[in-house]
Amino acid sequence: MSAPLTIRLATLADYRGFLSIAQETQEHHVALLPDVFRSVEVAVPEDDFARMVTGQESCIVLAERAGAIVGYATLQLHHATRDLMVPHTVAEIGNFGVSAASRRMGVGQSLFAACRDRERATAMGARDLTLSCWEANQEAMRFYERMGMRVSRRWLTLDL
């Protein structure tokens, strides 16, 4: 039996463990969409991580097992500011990653539940939870649909 899973907010001290999963997630995207993503030495610079962890309108949720970070999700608030839209605030999952060794073990579900938590979202000022996902990442698309997400907008592309 594996160690229990802990879901918690990231602190500045978590950068190295977070970066390990972020790098793995980046390489997963490179493999899926090499014409869009590229391998980089540092998937998330430390100052970007620090801004998300300490920001008033962002946080990083971590999944940890036996003292090791095995997954993460970044949340950031976005405000509708255009006059054409009803004023509202959404929490966007900007990045979501689970180590390959920890997939299909409930880590993603637990992370998603933490992001969906109404208390956290409303405390941050959000009324909706949103995310974007590349069509090529069908495994992720199926996961998000199982979590209750629905398509509310499509971003279309035309190669020139």
Residue range 50-88, pLDDT digits in tens: 999 999 889 999 999 999 999 999 999 888 777 787 788
Q: Check residue 1 and give its pLDDT.
A: 52
Residue 89, pLDDT above cutoff 90: no
Q: Check residue 82 and give its pLDDT.
A: 73
The superfamily in CATH containing domain 5-146 is Gcn5-related N-acetyltransferase (GNAT) (3.40.630.30)
Q: Check residue 36 and give its pLDDT.
A: 92
Q: Check residue 24 and give its pLDDT.
A: 94
Residue range 12-55, pLDDT digits in tens: 999 999 999 999 999 999 999 999 999 999 999 999 999 999 99
SS3 43: coil
Q: Are strands 68-79 and 5-9 parallel, antiparallel or unpaired?
A: unpaired
Residue range 102-151, pLDDT digits in tens: 888 889 999 999 988 867 777 777 888 888 888 888 889 998 999 999 98
DSSP, res 19: H
Domain residue limits, the chain: 5-146
Collect contacts of 72-79 with beta carbons under 8 A, ≥24 apart: 72/10, 72/18, 72/21, 72/22, 72/96, 72/97, 72/111, 73/97, 73/111, 73/112, 73/114, 73/115, 75/115, 75/120, 75/124, 76/52, 77/124, 77/125, 77/126, 78/130
Which sign does the torsion angle of CA 153, 56, 22, 11 carry?
negative
Q: Check residue 145 and give its pLDDT.
A: 92
Q: Check residue 44 and give its pLDDT.
A: 94
Q: Which helix (H) or strand (E) holds 118?
A: helix 118-124
| pTM of the full structure | 0.88
Q: Check residue 79 and give its pLDDT.
A: 86
Q: Check residue 49 and give its pLDDT.
A: 96
Contact 121, 92 (CB under 8 A): no
Which is higher by pLDDT, 90 or 7? Answer: 7
